[in-house]
Chain A
Amino acid sequence: MRHPIIGESVPRKEGLAKVTGKAIYTDDVTFPDMLYGATVRSQIARGKIRAIHFDPAMPWDEFVVVTAKDIPGKNCITLLEDDQPCLAADIVNHPEEPIVLLAHKDKYLVEEARRSVRIEIDPLPAIFTMEDSLASKEVIWRTNNIFKSLSVDKGDVDAAWATADKIIEGEYETGAQEQLYIEPQGMIATANPNDGVTVWGSLQCPYYIHKALSALLGLPADKIRVVQLETGGGFGGKEEYPSMIAAHASLLAWKSGKPVKIVYDRAEDMAATTKRHPSRTRHRTAVTRDGKLLAMDIDFTLDGGAYLTLSPVVLSRGTIHAAGPYNCPNVRIRSRVAATNAPPHGAFRGFGAPQSVFALERQLDQVAKAVGLTPDEFRRRNFIRKGQTLAVGQIVHEEIDMSELLERALKLSDYNAKRERFARENPGRSVKRGIGFASFLHGAGFTGSGEEYLASIADVEATPEGRVRVYAASTEMGQGTNTIFSQIAADALGLDYADIEVMQPDTAQVPNSGPTVASRTCMIVGKLVETAAIGIKQSLQQHKFLQEGYDRQAFVAACRRYHDEVGPLRATSRYSPPPNIHWDEHLYRGDAYGAYGWAVYVAEVSVDTATYETRVEDFVAVQEVGRVINPVLAAGQVEGGVAQGIGFALYEKVVWQEGRMINNQMTNYIMPTSMDLPPIRVYFEELPYARGPAGAKGIGELPLDGTAPAIINAIENATGICIRRIPMTPEDLMAALEATREKAIA
């Protein structure tokens, strides 16, 4: 009997290379005659470029200098809309906007040269807050500063207020968050008119870059090649910005005829590249006396930064997740993403949902309190069940029972006993303990019709020796693409894990499987890999080269015969939407996602009311993500996501000054270290999802959604203080506690 490969924690494919230091990342690659590139950026938020001054003390004849005038094609980073220039030509719209590119063979000299270029800019009035943007204090983007707005309507919210026993209002905010992958961004490009352009780099989405370079350089698709090197973390931060760096390296390579490497240092990476969108959410919730949700009126705003980039899609996910896994008859969501003169905000794991879920799960704890119910009892009375409809009108077909997940999470965290004990022991103690939770869902794959438009493709090939190769554009950035694709293909073909090889994402070799984002790699592309692998088996069986019940030897023999008698053996699978899935982009109604991950996270905290230090003491994460393909990798996704969520809640504060991040260093932007994290205890419920590979759904983003609200709910349980804004640093807690004390004295 063959050992089952699904559900097995096989070691990561590229693990050996990583633990020995042999894995090759972008900065580890050099070419003969290679130049180092640097970017000269705007120092101010908004203005008109008057002149560019080159300090005559530098030997400029040794340098390659590129400005907007050198761009052969269209001066933009093609994504959703073409509003973001590759190099600012006349107007700058945010600090750190690229204006001039330099390259030289000496990487130290190119740094000196960067400081020897002075950009003279006539300042224009700029916008730094969502409020000013919404009020159109200055119009900085098209006619009204709004990149996108959305409306979701279910039932009749206005009619519900009159019948409500209680109406509770609240406003919540989340700050920007830096992805802080430990490998800074970087790209290497070669370019010449005959061969076109090739870039190698640290990236999530090879075909995004492919498309952007084609437009920028005015080259046909077959003259552009994008190759992913080992990527030291992405978390969304390497979804869109790599197109910018690839564009810059390509322009320098195009002009110089030499290979050009651009690797950002940490300060440049943090200041210039995208971050999580800051958000503000207003809730107005109507409930009955016995704690049944009657209406939710949700107003959700994101700060998009200076260009549109991915903001409409981030807004979409945030909006759809804003009403959570609850059954509420009347829901109104109004949302928009507004322009400010900061570097564009972008993708970060969760993609809008951590922002809106934070607000919802904080609000529902306030609602529970207002109707005199415990947070858990209030959720129990309102959880969505199979057959009921989510805010966007999607009927839940999954067999999920959120109450069961909640029970398990509360039991594993000893929630009830601890809540009681903390209530008894906290009075009179300076270190207060608290426990809180959040319950949430996260849609896997692109929203609505997104997957249909993407029409992703993956190929599987079998060599004459019976080696199986997976060709997909899905990138490995630590989350385990290589490993789970191998497991899925091995399972589909009845082969061993070692028989499968996942090919390096190289647009000259792999089809467009879409971007590596949106928790879609396992569920969507993994399914394509599974289908293509089955296609290989079917091809062999149709030719009667292979019988059911075959072993590895028979498979190898069949592959040999196929190659000898028929030819190359390769199967392609293209995405087709599940039946009975409908999404109306105009009404914003329908089946938003093919499937959801479901979760309840419980956080236990201690809050020192003398030092204002908060520690997370214990963390229980219970989730249902379909069949778990590799338990160690899956738990690793949750643990890492929870750690980032703890940072989002308590540590990671971007300090802004006139649109610029001024704490762009690891010394003063604080992420969790090994000393800061509690035990993170991860549990899976497994309900196999019929449309996922071997029953799997998506997992990557889910843990970011519920971690922060669980922690802040626990802090309220410990201190009685209602925190409405994250990150909540010790300084913020001090201000809140002192305000309460003053109020008590007065």
Chain B
Amino acid sequence: MVTKKLTPTAVRRREFLAGAAMLLFSATRVRAVTISGHLPWTPNAGSPPSKIKLGPWEFFTGEEGRAIEAIADCVIPPDPETPGGREAGCAVFIDRQLAGPYGRQDGLYIRPPFLKGTKSQGSQSEAGPAQKYREAFAALDRACKSNYSGKAFADLSAAEQDTVLKGLESGDLKLDGADGKAFFEQVIKDIQMGFFADPIYGGNRDMVAWKMIGYPGARYNYLDWVNRHNERFPLPPVSMTGRAEWTSQAR
């Protein structure tokens, strides 16, 4: 399979086609009602997901954006069959997640005091993912520039980038002002999550990850297939917005 390169022109065109802001977890207040006599149903009361808006970074700075795209390609390198993390949109996925409720820890319990606990008690940090990313990128930038004669992470060679990430993974490379190992764990989790989530969130563009593994996507009925053992399911994936060929994303 040949995947077409995502050209800058295509990206710009897609900016204009972007949907509304993300409604997910939006703080709509719903009033309590008394329900009797019949099931409550009103038209358009559901909250379907919104497609992320393509375009400039919403959370990352330009430098952070270059770094996260470089990391995305280290974690998921491009190969002849499947694009890498950058082209699949994993950096965009993380950017939009950090700019949204997830980045702000919406819905989590963030009352003080913030005490240090045991590992089994879970994170007790006041800082949410957005703040942690910001601090870690600043620290990573300082570490790269001091170790690699002034170069930012994105400007290192692929081998040097891998060395830096391996250092964070093992804990051998300590960051000043951030927990490098924790950042590494977070960033590979987020990149891989973006790769496999529905393309509506910005990663897994054109369902490249789902095609790669053979996951048929947002389908709803395998009744004809449950008893067909050890046969490859023949249909290509669909996403929540359908197939790329059917939608405005088609290129």
A and B interact: no
